[in-house]
Structure 1
Amino acid sequence: MTVADGDSSNPADEAPVPRILFDVGTLEALGPASTGAVWRLSESGRQIDANVVRIPPGQRVETHAEPDLDVLLLVVAGDGTLITPEGSSSLGEGNLAWLPRGSTRGLEAGERGMAYLTVHRRRPGMRIQPAGRPDRGSDGPRP
């Protein structure tokens, strides 16, 4: 960035710059105790959320429904099973799954455990409302 006529630059005015955020090749080095979200997208001003989640061998994410968000899930290490009311599907490294909003799903890690990337629209932040006026935003209340 250049400065013209002695003006100072404002970092907030700078264009966003693409960059590498996480190397999934480092998952093995984290060790078996690292489970759950081992990385989260946290850049300000983003329109999406993303996480790398790790499940130990034989563990699971219980069956649940996500009412508000479509989610893309990419298996980046290990293997497992996607569990739905319609049946189960094997997941392996490189498999990309679409989990539409409102769908019921669960995950179970295989013998090697499983790590996966999820990407979805960013949830709106919590808003402070005056007393006596519950938040009735478009996404509804959050438990």
Structure 2
Amino acid sequence: MPEDTREPPAVATPADQPTVRILADVHELVDDPRVSGGARWTLSEPGRQLDANLIHLPPGRRVDTHTEPDLDVLLVAVAGAGTVGTPDDLQSVAEGNLVWLPHGSTRNITAGADGLSYLTVHRRRPGLQIKNRPDQ
């Protein structure tokens, strides 16, 4: 029996249907000299359920101690090294480490001698919504 060499039929997808796609190359973002510190990339896709940011801290810079009451955060170190934790319990973090930052925890992040680039991923924080009162 001869082999069927016909192309499969194209499947139409509505324009508003979510599609899988590559958003960025982390290596290019980490090496981007245009942004010295702060967010180098932010997930901004409409309809998303997650927030994600690629943050770069130059050598010695830090995110001050704070408590996140509502959101669990997964931190992925993608380049460099530093410390994560509290002043009483610092842990070394290096490229490739996955760090769990549970909601309610107090933490800070400090970049080492070569800086630290990391990706944070967490549930999307609901935006401010204005609701009409029932009596209006």
Pair in the same fold by TM > 0.5:
yes
Q: Which residue of 2 aligns with 1:136?
A: none
Deviation at 1:119, TM superposition (A): 0.4
Query: Equivalent residues in 2 for 1:61-140 (5 A)?
Result: 61-84=63-86, 86-130=88-132
Check 1:85–1:58 CA distance in 2 against 1; reply closer, same or farther (3 A cut): closer
Q: For the structure 1 residues 125 and 101, does the alpha-carbon distance in structure 2 shift closer, same or farther, using more than 3 Å as the test? A: same
**1:32·1:56 contact (CA, 8 Å) conserved in 2?**
no
Q: Deviations over 1:112-139 (max 9, x none)?
A: 10000000000111112458xxxxxxxx
Extract structure 1 runs of 4+ deviating beyond 4 A: none
Q: Which has the larger radius of gyration?
A: 2
Partner of 1:11: 15
SS in 2 for 1:97: strand
Q: 2:43 matched to 1:41? A: yes
* Match of residue 6 from structure 2: none
CA–CA separation in structure 2 for the residues paired with 1:28 and 1:42: 18
Task: Output the aligned Cα RMSD.
Answer: 1.9
TM-score normalized by the length of structure 1 = 0.79
CA distance in 2, matches of 1:27, 1:79: 17
**Can you give the 5+ residue segments of structure 2 that lack an aligned partner in the other structure?**
1-9
| Number of equivalences | 124
Identity value in percent: 55
1:27 correspondence with 2:36: no
- Mark the runs of 5 or more structure 1 residues left unpaired by the alignment: 4-8, 132-143
> Given the two structures, how large is their TM-score scaled by the length of structure 2?
0.82
